[in-house]
């Protein structure tokens, strides 16, 4: 049971775990956290291969396909800093359990969705829970484990991420391909895992609670951040479809979003308890890691989320087989997460692995930008493995680098800020690159059908996700080629963002990983930018 520790309200929060936990205690507590992270990742990946079927059943189109994903990313992004700030003020164990309850509620709503609008709204509720889980799991880990030891346990986190990414598409494909289940079970399937995580956390996670009397949440700052981010993401998603990029609606939404974010910065600079403490960005590594996380998010989510469409539409694979096609990338991610995590724990060095990972991510995206509807599948698998290796060596270590530079009182805000910008990049990537994909597919299919003398409405893909197996052979070839070319362009567009992330990582200064849970001045000197 958690114990309350009354302290002076004007004093900074004390460490939540003054006494280091044993390896066994860490693993016991980590079990519930990893189940929670598995649930969060599963909610995103289980629908990947099922979405073409779901959208077709509910009568949606390419924009609906994008929005079912974007809705979750948007609310995950917008609420992550709020969860992180709450973690610095209240019981982290309780907050993780609240996030699990919100996730289960959103999953039930999605599984019962009668239409596409309801589904998008339910996915938004799911995203609130996912935002809490993705932010809080890393915060709680950092409260239990010193940075020097965190590498080995971060490997477990990376492996869990990979397991969910592997099993999600496979499970979603099997559910869709099993007639007596149906796609609605893609949303119900995560609920038992969430309930299991709730129970396991109740029994195994025992963190002292530090209560700071007289502290209030900056609701105005939170509202401005959510409003600004949401407005810009909605604009990116709708521009070019619902209205022109250069229309008055664009000017209104961009101007409004920028104004809200400017007001958010003004408010955060003056709030007693800001949602995102601006002082964090005075630290060079925090600022650069946040910048890198933003562009890693664009490259990761904005490119890989459309791989399922490529395999199912351009290559004519079933949802289950499309899930199996992702194995090379996930294998690379698992391998890099586990191996790099253990090496970092042994050596205390992390920058060289992030630089190598950033280079592999950039190279993997460039290589995937060369594919089309006829590229040998084994070649695509090799390029995906390269991308996976890079992601495994980069993502968790960006969070680790930031956690190593802040004290326990700012741990939640700092960790969630990195996650916030990664999710923000992902939401921007899915929205913008999804819009680009839809535009290119429409253009390529239209021109291809014109050469055949076929009206665009005859392809079955002019406004929705096509079932290529039901199309006449000549039309099917046009649609397959269009998706092959369009998806390859998505990877090429994502590659420069990965290069920007690599540049930010190179500019970071490596600081020795401390062996203490809170800041230790002796172990806070930089190793040098070139290490």
Separation between Cα atoms, residue 201 and residue 196, nearest integer Å: 9
- Which of 150-164, 210-224, 285-299 has maximum average pLDDT? 285-299
Four-residue CA torsion sign, 385, 330, 37, 298: positive
Q: What is the mean pLDDT of residues 303-311?
A: 76
Q: Above 50 in pLDDT, residue 467? A: yes
Choose between 334 and 524: higher pLDDT: 334
Q: Above 70 in pLDDT, residue 480? A: yes
Q: What is the mean pLDDT of residues 24-31?
A: 78
Q: Above 50 in pLDDT, residue 393? A: yes
Mean pLDDT computed over every residue of the chain? 78
Would you state the structure tokens that stand for residue 529, as one six-digit string? 């930018």
Listing DSSP states for 26-74 in one string gives: HHHHHHHHHHHHHHHHHHHHTTTTTHHHHHHHHT--HHHHHHHHHHHHH
Rg (C-alpha) for the chain, rounded Å, is 23
Q: How confident is the model at residue 382 (pLDDT cuts 50, 70, 90)?
A: very high
> What pLDDT, on a 0 to 100 scale, did the predictor assign at position 506?
93
Separation between Cα atoms, residue 90 and residue 80, nearest integer Å: 15
Q: How confident is the model at residue 303 (pLDDT cuts 50, 70, 90)?
A: low
Task: Show the beta-strand stretches assigned E in 322-471.
Answer: none
- For residue 303, the SS3 value is helix
SS (H, E, C) 444-467: HHHHHHHHHCCCHHHHCCCCCCCC
> What pLDDT, on a 0 to 100 scale, did the predictor assign at position 367?
94
Question: Lowest mean pLDDT: which of 77-81, 416-420, 522-526?
Answer: 522-526
Q: Above 60 in pLDDT, residue 525? A: no
Q: What is the mean pLDDT of residues 188-215?
A: 74
> What pLDDT, on a 0 to 100 scale, did the predictor assign at position 113?
86
Would you state the structure tokens that stand for residue 288, as one six-digit string? 């650069």
- Which of 21-25, 299-303, 386-390 has maximum average pLDDT? 386-390
pLDDT tens per residue, range 313-357: 888 887 677 777 878 888 888 888 888 878 887 887 888 899 999
Q: How confident is the model at residue 3 (pLDDT cuts 50, 70, 90)?
A: very low
Choose between 530 and 279: higher pLDDT: 279
> What pLDDT, on a 0 to 100 scale, did the predictor assign at position 404?
78
Q: Please report, rounded to a whole number, the percentage of residues in the chain having pLDDT higher than 90.
A: 11
Listing DSSP states for 127-169 in one string gives: HHHHHHHHHHHHHHHHHHS-HHHHHHHHHHHHHHHHHHHHHHH
Neighbours of 458 (CB within 10 A): 13
Element (H, E) at 210: strand 209-211
Q: What is the mean pLDDT of residues 275-299?
A: 84
Choose between 529 and 111: higher pLDDT: 111
- For residue 324, the SS3 value is helix
> What pLDDT, on a 0 to 100 scale, did the predictor assign at position 229?
79
> What pLDDT, on a 0 to 100 scale, did the predictor assign at position 277?
79
Choose between 185 and 4: higher pLDDT: 185
Q: Above 60 in pLDDT, residue 458? A: no
> What pLDDT, on a 0 to 100 scale, did the predictor assign at position 216?
65
Phi first, then psi, for residue 528 (nearest 5°) are 115, 145
> What pLDDT, on a 0 to 100 scale, did the predictor assign at position 383?
93
> What pLDDT, on a 0 to 100 scale, did the predictor assign at position 359?
95
């Amino acid at each position: 049971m958690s114990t309350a520790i009354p302290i002076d309200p004007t004093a900074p929060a004390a460490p939540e775990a003054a006494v280091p936990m044993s390896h066994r205690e860490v693993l016991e507590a980590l079990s519930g956290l990893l189940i929670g992270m598995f649930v969060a990742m599963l909610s995103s990946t289980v629908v990947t291969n099922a979405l073409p079927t779901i959208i077709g059943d509910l009568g949606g189109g390419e924009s609906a396909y994008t929005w079912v994903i974007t809705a979750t990313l948007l609310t995950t992004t917008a609420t992550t800093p709020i969860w992180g700030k709450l973690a610095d003020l209240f019981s982290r164990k309780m907050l993780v359990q609240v996030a699990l309850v919100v996730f289960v509620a959103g999953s039930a709503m999605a599984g019962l969705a009668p239409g596409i609008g309801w589904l998008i709204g339910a996915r938004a509720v799911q995203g609130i829970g996912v935002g809490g889980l993705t932010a809080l799991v890393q915060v709680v880990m950092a409260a239990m484990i010193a940075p020097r030891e965190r590498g080995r346990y971060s490997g477990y986190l990376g492996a869990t991420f990979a397991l969910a990414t592997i099993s999600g598409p496979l499970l979603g494909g099997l559910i869709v391909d099993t007639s007596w289940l149906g796609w609605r079970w893609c949303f119900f399937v995560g609920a038992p895992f969430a309930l299991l995580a709730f129970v396991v956390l109740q029994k195994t996670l025992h963190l002292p609670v530090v209560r700071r009397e007289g502290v209030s949440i900056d609701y105005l700052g939170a509202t401005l951040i959510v409003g600004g981010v949401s407005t810009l993401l909605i604009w990116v998603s709708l521009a070019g479809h619902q209205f022109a990029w250069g229309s008055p609606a664009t000017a209104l939404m961009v101007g409004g979003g920028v104004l809200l974010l400017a007001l958010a910065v003004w408010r955060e600079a003056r709030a007693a308890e800001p949602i995102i403490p601006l002082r964090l960005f005075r630290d060079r590594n925090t600022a650069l890691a946040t910048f890198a996380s933003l562009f890693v998010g664009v490259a990761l989510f904005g490119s890989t989320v459309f791989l399922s469409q490529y395999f199912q539409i351009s290559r004519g694979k079933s949802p289950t087989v499309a899930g199996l096609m992702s194995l090379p990338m996930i294998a690379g991610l698992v391998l890099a997460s586990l191996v790099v995590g253990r090496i970092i724990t042994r050596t205390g060095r992390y920058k060289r692995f992030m630089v190598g990972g950033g280079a592999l991510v950039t190279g993997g995206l460039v290589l995937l930008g060369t594919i089309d509807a006829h590229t040998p599948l084994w070649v695509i698998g090799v390029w995906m493995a390269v991308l996976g290796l890079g992601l495994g060596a980069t993502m968790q270590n960006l969070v680790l680098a930031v956690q190593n530079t802040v004290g326990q009182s700012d741990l939640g805000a700092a960790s969630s800020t990195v996650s916030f910008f990664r999710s923000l990049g992902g939401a921007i990537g899915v929205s913008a690159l999804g819009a680009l994909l839809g535009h290119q597919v429409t253009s390529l299919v239209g021109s291809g059908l014109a050469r055949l003398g076929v009206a665009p409405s005859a392809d079955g893909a002019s406004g929705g996700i096509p079932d290529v197996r039901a199309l006449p052979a000549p039309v099917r070839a046009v649609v397959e080629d269009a998706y092959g070319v369009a998806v390859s362009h998505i990877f090429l567009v994502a590659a420069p963002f990965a290069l920007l992330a690599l540049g930010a990582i190179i500019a970071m200064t490596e600081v020795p990983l401390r062996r203490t849970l809170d800041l230790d001045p002796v172990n806070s000197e930089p190793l040098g930018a070139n290490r």
